[in-house]
């Protein structure tokens, strides 16, 4: 790798070095960290935050943000379990319906943003409230039962590796290919860099932005389906933490809130940094309240670091 390539990829190298150090420290401080049981637990935890963070990356690259992902996760979790009711025959129709509903939410987000010019923060915050309210009208407590076959999504294994890990990495590889090797991906970066210049260059900016919000909602639906499969039922509040948690890996991974720089390679490192850190703090029996403080500090530090480099 040339010096120019090292400079260009410095942020990614730094974030993977941080992940490596975190793994070393976690191993030194916990005798159980490298056990098979704990490693599979870390991987399964990474899947839930991973899917939604991959989708959030697409949106943030266009200088947008999607705060409705948590409510979409809750919605898909409850709908899938509430409609299956333990019946294998309903698995495929329900999964298709749930994904379709999520895509509609993403389409509405994108359409309102591009047609009204309202900040994505405000639009998706409003959508979050509407969807979460609808979920709570649908059910106030844990609800439904997924089918036995559907539980393979969360608990199945191929060899000794959890099946959902293969899905996460497949989604990541596909996403990296789309962003780096297709016109759609190049247009996303162009919009994030300068939307007006992209529009004048012939990029269909409105259509591209709508698609990114649909991708984000689709990714949130995958997380919701995974969580319902893991728990065996739906939970109307399970998605709440993901509104913030889905942003952390993206920002740690070097994708700028202002758009146009970053990508899924960095987000993958961010996913595992967040997951390993949470797992290690649990092993050290550190309160979840302190984990929130650590998570907030990481967000501030990552944003400050990358914004400083940008200038």
The span from the CA of 111 to the CA of 135, in Å, is 22
Among 22-26, 76-80, 150-154, the range scoring the smallest mean pLDDT is 22-26
CA distances 109 to 130, 161, 190, 248, 279, Å, are: 12, 36, 20, 21, 34
* The CATH fold of domain 9-310: ABC transporter involved in vitamin B12 uptake, BtuC (1.10.3470)
State what percent of residues in the chain have pLDDT above 70: 94
Residue 222 has pLDDT above 80, yes or no: yes
- Residue 303: pLDDT over 80: no
Distances (CA, A) of 17 to 23, 28, 261: 10, 17, 20
Q: What is the DSSP letter of 35?
A: S
With a cut of 90, say whether residue 219 has pLDDT above it: yes
Q: Where are the alpha helices (DSSP H) in 117-263?
A: 120-138, 152-155, 163-181, 183-193, 195-200, 205-231, 242-245, 247-252
- pLDDT tier at 8 (50, 70, 90 boundaries)? low
Q: Where are the domains of the chain?
A: 9-310
Regarding pTM above 0.75, the answer is: yes
What pLDDT, on the 0 to 100 scale, is given for residue 207?
96
Q: From the CA atom positions of the chain, what is the Rg in Å?
A: 19
Summarize pLDDT for 26-61 with one digit per residue, the tens.
Answer: 888 878 888 888 899 999 999 999 999 999 999 999
Question: Which of 254 and 216 is assigned the larger pLDDT?
Answer: 216
Q: Which long-range contacts (CB under 8 A, 24 or more apart) does 38-41 make?
A: 38/279, 40/162, 41/279
Do 48 and 153 meet the contact criterion of CB atoms below 8 Å apart? Answer: no
Within a 10 A sphere around the Cβ of 174, how many other Cβ atoms?
12
Q: Which pLDDT value is given to residue 301? A: 76
Contacts with 103 (C-beta within 8 Å, 6 or more apart), sequence order? 214, 217, 218, 221
What are the backbone dihedrals phi and psi of residue 162, each rounded to the nearest 5 degrees, phi first?
Answer: -55, 135
| 74-89 confidence digits (pLDDT tens) | 999 999 999 999 999 9
Weakest mean pLDDT among 144-153, 174-183, 275-284: 275-284
Q: Is 157 helix (H, G, I), strand (E, B) or coil?
A: strand
Q: How far apart are the first and last CA of the chain?
A: 25
pLDDT surpassing 80 at residue 202: yes
- Which of 11-20, 62-71, 98-107, 170-179 is predicted with the least confidence, judged by mean pLDDT? 11-20
């Amino acid at each position: 790798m040339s010096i120019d390539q090292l400079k260009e990829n410095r942020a990614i190298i730094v974030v993977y070095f941080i992940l490596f150090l975190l793994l070393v420290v976690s191993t030194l401080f916990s005798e159980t960290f490298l056990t098979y049981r704990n490693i599979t637990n870390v991987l399964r935890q990474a899947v839930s935050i991973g899917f939604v963070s991959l989708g959030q990356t697409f949106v943030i690259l266009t200088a947008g943000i999607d705060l409705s992902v948590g409510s979409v996760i809750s919605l898909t979790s409850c709908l899938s379990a509430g409609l299956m009711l333990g019946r294998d025959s309903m698995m495929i129709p329900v999964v298709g319906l749930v994904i379709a509903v999520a895509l509609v939410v993403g389409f509405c987000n994108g359409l309102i943003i591009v047609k009204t010019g309202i900040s994505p923060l405000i639009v998706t915050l409003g959508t979050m409230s509407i969807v979460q309210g609808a979920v709570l009208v649908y059910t106030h407590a844990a609800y439904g039962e997924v089918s036995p076959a559907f539980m393979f999504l969360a608990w199945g294994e191929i060899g000794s590796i959890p099946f959902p890990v293969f899905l996460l990495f497949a989604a990541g590889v596909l996403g990296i290919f789309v962003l780096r090797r297709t016109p759609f991906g190049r247009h996303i970066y162009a919009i994030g860099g300068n939307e007006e210049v992209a529009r004048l260059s012939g990029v269909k900016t409105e259509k591209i932005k709508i698609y990114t919000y649909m991708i984000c909602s689709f990714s949130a639906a995958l997380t919701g389906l995974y969580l319902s499969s893991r728990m065996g039922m739906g939970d109307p509040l399970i998605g709440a933490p993901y509104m913030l948690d889905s942003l952390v890996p993206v920002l740690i991974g070097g994708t700028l809130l202002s758009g146009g720089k970053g990508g899924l390679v960095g987000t993958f490192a961010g996913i595992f940094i967040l997951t390993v850190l949470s797992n290690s703090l649990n092993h050290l029996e550190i309160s979840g309240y302190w984990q929130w403080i650590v998570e907030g500090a990481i967000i501030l530090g990552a944003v400050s670091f990358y914004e400083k480099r940008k200038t």
